[in-house]
Amino acid sequence: QVQLVESGGGLVQAGGSLRLSCAASGRIFSVNAIGWYRQAPGKQRDLVAVFNSGGLTNYAESVKGRFTISRDNAKNTVYLQMNSLKPEDTAVYYCNADVTYLGNSFLRERNDYWGQGTQVTVSS
């Protein structure tokens, strides 16, 4: 079993910054991919920034140059530094991870997990 716990959301003015954190815990064997998605009301959930399974980053075009994803492998934690925030960045931000974990009898299993989401609101 794997859990993702997010923190760092809040209310900021346009042009401000926030730093989101997501910590994965459980019987983790390896984190294959991990990153951030967001969903505004009435919209689909879209990729923001991720580390893919090869360790490379992938950013949404709308956040390039403003957001930076980073990770601390020792803590199984991923961060999203968000600078120059705009009102259109307002959304619930979700952490997602593709994890290989140790199930019963230490058999390796793989699954995709989502955090509970954290609200980011950017005011004009």
Q: Give residue-wise pLDDT tens across range 22-42.
A: 999 999 999 999 999 999 999
* Cα within 13 Å of Cα(48), Cβ side: 28
pLDDT for res 104: 86
pLDDT for res 1: 82
Q: Max alpha carbon distance in the chain (Å)?
A: 54
- Region 42-52: mean pLDDT is 97
| 72: exposed, middle or buried (Cβ count in 10 Å: 0-12, 13-18, 19+) | exposed
CA distance 115 to 94: 6
CA distance 118 to 74: 23
SS3 call for 13: strand
SS3 call for 73: helix
Which of 92, 82, 80, 86 has the alpha carbon at shortest distance from 17?
Answer: 82
Question: Taking the CB of residue 93, how many other CB atoms lie within 10 A of it?
Answer: 23
- Region 3-28: mean pLDDT is 97
Q: Give residue-wise pLDDT tens across range 51-109.
A: 999 999 999 999 999 999 999 988 999 999 999 999 999 999 999 999 999 988 889 99
CA distance 77 to 84: 23
- In the predicted model, is pLDDT for residue 116 greater than 90? yes
Residue 113: pLDDT band with limits 50, 70, 90: very high
CA distance 91 to 20: 13
